[in-house]
Structure 1
Amino acid sequence: MQLYNKLSAEERAALIEEAGKERLTISFYKYAKIGNPQILRNHLFLAWDELEVLGRIYVAKEGINAQLSVPAELFNDFKKHLDSISFLENVRLNIAIEHDDFAFLKLKVKVRDKIVADGLNDDAFDVTNKGIHVDAATFNELIEDPNTVLVDMRNHYESEIGHFKNAITPDVDTFRDSLPIIEEDLKEHKEDKNLVMYCTGGIRCEKASAYYKHKGFKNVFQLEGGIINYVRQIEASKLENKFIGKNFVFDERRSERISEDIIAHCHQCGKACDTHVNCANEACHLLFIQCEECAAKMNNCCSTDCMDIVALPYEEQKALRKGKAVSNLIFKKGRSEVLKFKE
């Protein structure tokens, strides 16, 4: 029984290109009590591998969080399988604004302690006592209210390239970092302000809204379906778009353009730019913003040191990486002393 990937990303990319068929990029989440996440994980892998689903899926005792790519012609079969699982029947699917057939190149279904690393003790508060979910129209009205505080629940590298107008954008590396900072900054307004939150697809706000209600905030709201669903709603209903820039996404696309505004800048030269890249040096792989001119000048690297390494034969690069931990660089997204124009 095959319960893991047998093809490399390169082999899968070649197959996708050869097939020449449209793929849909989809995300969804669901909080639910799952008795044995490993059994569900194996079931999903077997079923979705048959449907040529690719993506990154986390399963935990508290639920499921999925970002994936499905062949368009098999979407109905995929939806039918989802609906056959009781707690996923009619789950809201956030379908990407911009599709990329190569958004995901492997099917990874992993069992985790949590579907989002929030650092919270779920036994300490009622996680089902969530904030009020609002649609795009209500959200637009709320954020124009002077009695509203709008908070971006995403990380610095996400909000840097795009966010809602007048939103508070915490300068944090992780979701868990933002929770106590926001609570402290807004502690004087627990009863007299509307706390309105948003994130990419809604999953972070789902937990955060319950946490802040537990902490004494009286009027807590969250954008239903996050930025992804908001964009679809404003287009369908011809509403005013209050989002400026790009929406950061966690796949090979890295972002979806929502408005023509470029609110970020190249981390190397300071030129207006909102294109995220990973350093070409695999021992670094730092995520940062780089314009086309700097990409050509720096050979797609973040520094001259990385340029020197990339210029070496590939086997020598592998030898230099062997036995060295580089996750501190990979996960410090956009933060490095070599980036002169990163605030």
Structure 2
Amino acid sequence: MGISDGHWRINQLMEAFNLTSSSPPTFILNGIPGLEAAHIWISIPFSTCYIISLLGNFIVLFVVAKEETLHKPMYLLLCMLALTDIGMSSCVMPKALCIFWFGFKGITIDGCITQIFVIYVLALTHAAILVTMAFDRYVAICDPLRYTTILTNARIAKLGLVGLIRAVVLILPVPLLLRSLPFCTNRVIAHTYCEHMAVVKMSCGDTRINRTYSLGITFVISGLDLTLIGLSYGLIIRAVLRINSKEAHRKALNTCTAHISVMLVNGTLTLFSILTHWFGQGIAAHVHILLANLYLFVPPMLNPIIYGVKSKELREKMGKYTCRM
């Protein structure tokens, strides 16, 4: 009875939104297919991750802004990371919770394309910041005497701006290509947000350019960023191995543990999400969607925690303010 009722509701939903040319251009975000009955329960860990993410990242921004001793390149990069984390999760979570709690599933095509653009731009900017952090650690360990002259706050800000411009230029064709596609009358997307390929599949036209460009950007940029990070850490390891003191080894590597931990969290979830999306046709749809959501919610929650634990200076300053509350 429950299964047939669920099928009837889906059919009813699809019939209600089989849009004609005179209908307003709207998509329907259907949440997590197969787990509709558990949407309320799923919203609990989702909203918890979001609250922790906002709290942790805003604390980092507040503490770094208030403490002049933290006005350094490494903490400026951490603030940039926090801003992209807040932006990525906030771009998705409010709409997802509206779906889970109130059943507000409609989103205009323009709103959908805008959401895709913002998510991709922030994701590529986030990746550029991780590359800059790897370069920061390379200079700190391999050329410490020139660190303050090579990496000034102004130069870090410029690198962050370059990362943002790179992201905008590379992602700008995505919404333009999407806007040129004709969309079918069935505009029900089995997802909690407007994921690019899920929207492409709604089109009745030729989507080869969209698919090729998306796949190319994903692998070329990921490959380039991973190569630069790998090169930085390869040079760091070579420099560390030349040091005879084991204590010096430990101190040098400790300065990299936070960044390595953040990269592992982000990279693992990103890799699983990409691989299951492109090559996991036999995997259940709700697994794809949960992985896509974890990629956007878990790193923003864990990043401030990782840096708060691993950075003694930041941890002490955060402790000073949280103890006053």
* Structure number, greater radius of gyration: 2
TM-score w.r.t. structure 1 length? 0.23
Structure with greater strand percent: 1
TM-score w.r.t. structure 2 length? 0.24
